[in-house]
Chains A and B, each alone.
Chain A
Amino acid sequence: MKTAELVNLLATGEPAVQRHVAGRRYALAIGLGMVAAALLMKGLLGLRHDLGAALLLPMFWIKVGYVAGLVLASLLAVLRLSRPGSRLDWVTSALAAPILAMWALAALVLSDAGPGQRAELLLGQTWAVCPLLITLLSVPVFAGVTWAMRGLAPTRLRLAGAAAGLLSGSVGALVYCLHCPEMAAPFIGSWYLLGMLIPSVIGAVLGHRLLRW
């Protein structure tokens, strides 16, 4: 087939394209993925038993805000990386901001604490399982976001995979907040972050295989 014939084929019989395809695909992927992650959390781990009381504590909402900030920033990164020729620009700073803010708070908390308390603030009770559980809860959203991205046009596949992984990791961490009893900034600034970075690294590694078009 000659190129001119292919152009005829492509241009014939096409209705107007749907608008906001990216937004709808990601809304569906994140919505369903989050429900699946919540069911997984409830079934496997259960809600934290003092959730009602925790909802009244500022630190609970600081934790949620930190994770939600990363959800939003990584969603922006994912949307940009799904579109050819669009740059991350200030989104990189938006990704760094919640992390730096939590690290600043952690530094403050650690410097205020006595030497004997510091290990407890950093490791809490659950440091060994926290990153793995967040990774586990990220799986449904990871599957959804990968599906959504495959219907779009990422051209930097490694970076796009990393952003997709970070988005699913941060949504997984958001759900995990309802289970996790840890409230210390040093813990959240390290183990939560690690839990969100594991899916991100997996996404970067699998980017070429999963997202090629």
Chain B
Amino acid sequence: MDRMNASEDRLRQLLLQGLEGDAPAYHAFLMELSTHLRAFFRKRLNRLPDDVEDLVQEALLAIHNQRHTYAADQPLTAWIHAIAKYKLIDLLRRRASRDRLTDPIDDVMDILAYSDSEASEARRDVGKLLDQLPDRQRLPIVHTKLEGLSVSEAAQVTGMSESAIKVGVHRGMKALAKLIRGQT
């Protein structure tokens, strides 16, 4: 229990710093979060082991895109658990196999209690999905997120305005999440 509270406190601190724009803290948050998500999904997708890593990635992207819905006065565990559960049920519904869910899913504290850092290969390649985005979304993501350029540098390279770069990244990440949902 104490270990889990410590885990909650540390992760929450990292997320709050990340929401302020602290990239290393946000990176650390997502890395640790991915191990908890992996353990949570692996335990509950016994019969769909190949889907685990895809679902980890889908949930990470969903959490990233909706991170503004986290309120600082709210337990992080409950917030993460609700999203992970939602994404798990959504996947099972797409697979039309709700009956495969054998492990209990409603224990909120479960989500930070286990971690699993052994990533298997994802079947779906997010990089390839990125290539499907229109240039006005793909280029801002490639330049600012893969090549690490600043917004103004990316604007110079592409000839787009700085606000178009920001909007492109934002909409592109949403579009990417939508492609991921549509694919599986």
Residues of the B chain whose Cβ atoms lie less than 8 Å from the Cβ of A2: 119, 121-122
Mask for A114-146, Cβ within 8 A of B = 1, else 0? 000000000000000000000000000000000
Q: Is the interface of A mostly helix, strand, loop or mixed?
A: loop
| Cβ–Cβ contact B66 & A213, under 8 A | yes
B19: contacting residue among A5, A9, A16, A85, CB under 8 A: A16
Closest to B149 in A: A13
One of A17-25, A89-97, A198-206 contacting the partner = A17-25
Residues of A in contact with B, size category? 20 to 34
The 7 nearest A-B residue pairs measured at CB: A85-B78, A84-B82, A16-B21, A85-B82, A11-B27, A13-B144, A153-B66
| Cβ–Cβ contact B79 & A84, under 8 A | yes
Known: A3-B38, A21-B68, A85-B77. 10 other contacts (CB 8 A): A3-B53, A3-B56, A7-B34, A11-B26, A11-B30, A13-B169, A18-B68, A83-B71, A84-B83, A85-B81
In chain B, residues 22-78, which have Cβ atoms closer than 8 Å to a Cβ of chain A? 23-24, 26-27, 30-31, 34, 38, 53, 56-57, 60-62, 64-71, 74-75, 77-78
A111 CB–B CB distance under 8 Å: no
Closest to A13 in B: B144
26 A-B residue pairs with CB within 8 Å: A1-B57, A1-B125, A2-B121, A3-B56, A6-B60, A7-B60, A9-B146, A11-B23, A12-B144, A12-B145, A12-B146, A17-B19, A17-B68, A21-B69, A83-B69, A83-B79, A84-B79, A85-B74, A85-B78, A85-B80, A85-B82, A86-B71, A153-B62, A155-B83, A155-B86, A212-B181
Residues of the A chain whose Cβ atoms lie less than 8 Å from the Cβ of B122: 1-3
Nearest Cβ distance between residue B85 and chain A, in whole angstroms? 7
Mask for A153-175, Cβ within 8 A of B = 1, else 0? 10100000000000000000000
A57 CB–B CB distance under 8 Å: no
Residues of the B chain whose Cβ atoms lie less than 8 Å from the Cβ of A18: 68
A10: contacting residue among B61, B70, B71, B85, CB under 8 A: B61
Residues of the A chain whose Cβ atoms lie less than 8 Å from the Cβ of B79: 83-86
A14 CB–B CB distance under 8 Å: yes
Nearest Cβ distance between residue A16 and chain B, in whole angstroms? 4
Residues of the A chain whose Cβ atoms lie less than 8 Å from the Cβ of B155: none
Nearest Cβ distance between residue B79 and chain A, in whole angstroms? 4
